[in-house]
Structure 1
Amino acid sequence: MFRLILVLTALMVSTSLQAGEIQPFKAHYHLVIDGWPNADMTHQLERDKEGWRTTMHASVKIATGYEYSRFRLRNDTDVAPWSFYSRYRLFGFGDTYRLDDQQLASLPDRQAALFALSRQAFNAPSCRGRQTTPCTFAYLDHKARQRDMAWRVIDDPEMSVPQGHWQTRHVEAWDEDKPDRRMHFYFTSRYPGLLVQTDYFRDGKLSARLQLTGLETP
């Protein structure tokens, strides 16, 4: 279950909103999830010598989760990941997983896929509307298993979260094999990859909510 903390956040049109240029950031989130202690998380997007690195880390008293993806941009648009790492611990026990460039040659890892989705959501008018045919994407989970996702843009709400007030793009996404579980992402055009808020619904009931509590930028 603790892995859900990172999957929720990890694992996107109106002409007034356009995806901005990629900018480094360090975000702080607070996550409330049914049946677990509340968790604080950090999420960082930074440049490295091979391109970009996106990292998420969460911890509570009994569990920790940490994962990152390293990726390049092809033609300034396509996300091309080449390294993924994830580590989970519960009561001191857990597992570590890695994906290399050969495994990621055809499909991205979930961190890279989430970043790509946060940009694509601002440039996909055909995916907009509750009644429209959902768009799709695929990614590899931490065990290199393919996951097929559907998604669509719902609306562009203005939102107030603990960190401040944001103009957002609301995206609903779900695993095609588990349509009863829905994730609602609220992205911003100002910082691709940043999560203003993420809600997780199971059987129509809100089960988890992540909100932005702090943001550091260069």
Structure 2
Amino acid sequence: MSQLTPLTMGHSKLVLRRLTIALYPVWPIVMASLLIAPGANAQAARDLATPQPFEAQYRLEVRGWPSTTITHRLSHEGEHWLSDMRFSITVASGQESSRFSLDGDDIRALLFSSSYSVLGVGDRYQLNESEIPTLDRQSALFDLSRRAGHENCIARSPCAIAFVDQKGRDEHFQYYVDDRNVDEQIIDGPATLSVPAGEFEALRVSLIDTEKPDRLLTLHFHPDWPGLILSAVYQKDGRRETQLTLTQFQPDGGATP
């Protein structure tokens, strides 16, 4: 039976770290705790979409790695919601899930767990409700996609976001709804986006790391399906590093939009 030597263990951890960094913008994504900038909540509390359970699959492409499929499920379990994402390729796997409750338009994070592994070496994390002061990554992704377009968050006046990662540490981003569609034309309201899963209405949201302004994450959300990602592209120094694309979408008991 082969064993991991200190050298191979060190290499595995390096690969794990690089893969985690590469996947972070989309896999552990904006799945973070979210603080809307002062003045945004007055508009954000109106006409938010009603959550709907679904199952989706995304194609994840990371520069320098083989593409893989992410499975994403949003399910309603009694008084709670569960958002779960997971992927697996030959040498790596990852999973994140969050339980949260809704009280009107307010979200309360209850339990967050995540795990990542490369060549059998990895980490597991869990945050209980008392360790999540605002939201975790999965519930925040749901919240961001639900609120996008309902606040006055534009490029010249973006909203602030405070992220809590898998270890409960804060990170800070800004976001705004972009008024350009994929053809760089100015639009008013949701555009139409074609992906392998079909053609959908889409809101384009841009996120910027306040500590690393050379990095940009652009996402397209469906305005009527909170939590659903239509596409996401992460760029560093203007070069695409990671891309996520919706390939399959199955509403739970509903019709495809």
Q: TM-score w.r.t. structure 2 length?
A: 0.77
| Cα distance, 1:53–1:138 mapped onto 2, change above 3 Å | same
Residue-pair matches, total: 208
In structure 2, how many angstroms separate the alpha carbons of the residues matched to 1:25 and 1:179?
A: 34
* Alpha-carbon distance in 1 for matches of 2:122, 2:166: 13
* Higher radius of gyration, 1 or 2: 2
RMSD over aligned CA atoms reads: 1.6
2:50 counterpart of 1:32: no
Contact 1:39 1:60 (8 Å CA) reproduced: yes
SS in 1 for 2:146: helix
Unaligned runs of 5+ in 1: 13-17
Q: Is 1:127 matched with 2:153?
A: yes
Matched, 1:100 2:117: no
Please give the alpha-carbon distance, in whole angstroms, between the structure 2 residues aligned to 1:19 and 1:172.
19
- TM-superposition CA deviations, 1:68-124 (whole Å, max 9, x none): 0110112x21111010000000001101000011111x2211111111100110311
Native 8 Å contact 2:48 2:105 kept in 1? no
1:2 paired to 2:19: yes
What is residue 69 of structure 1 aligned with on the other side?
98
User: Does residue 109 of structure 1 match 2:126?
Assistant: no
**Shift in alpha-carbon separation, 1:209–1:61, aligned structure 2, 3 A:** same
What is the aligned counterpart of 1:192 among 220, 226, 232?
A: 226
Task: Report percent identity of matched pairs.
Answer: 34
Specify the alignment match of 1:152 in structure 2.
176
Checking the alignment, whether the CA contact within 8 Å between 2:94 and 2:117 is kept in structure 1 is yes
Q: TM-score, normalised by structure 1?
A: 0.90
Distance 1:144 1:194 in 2: 24
Match of 2:13 in 1: none
3-state secondary structure, aligned to 1:168: strand
Contact 1:151 1:174 in 2 (8 A): yes
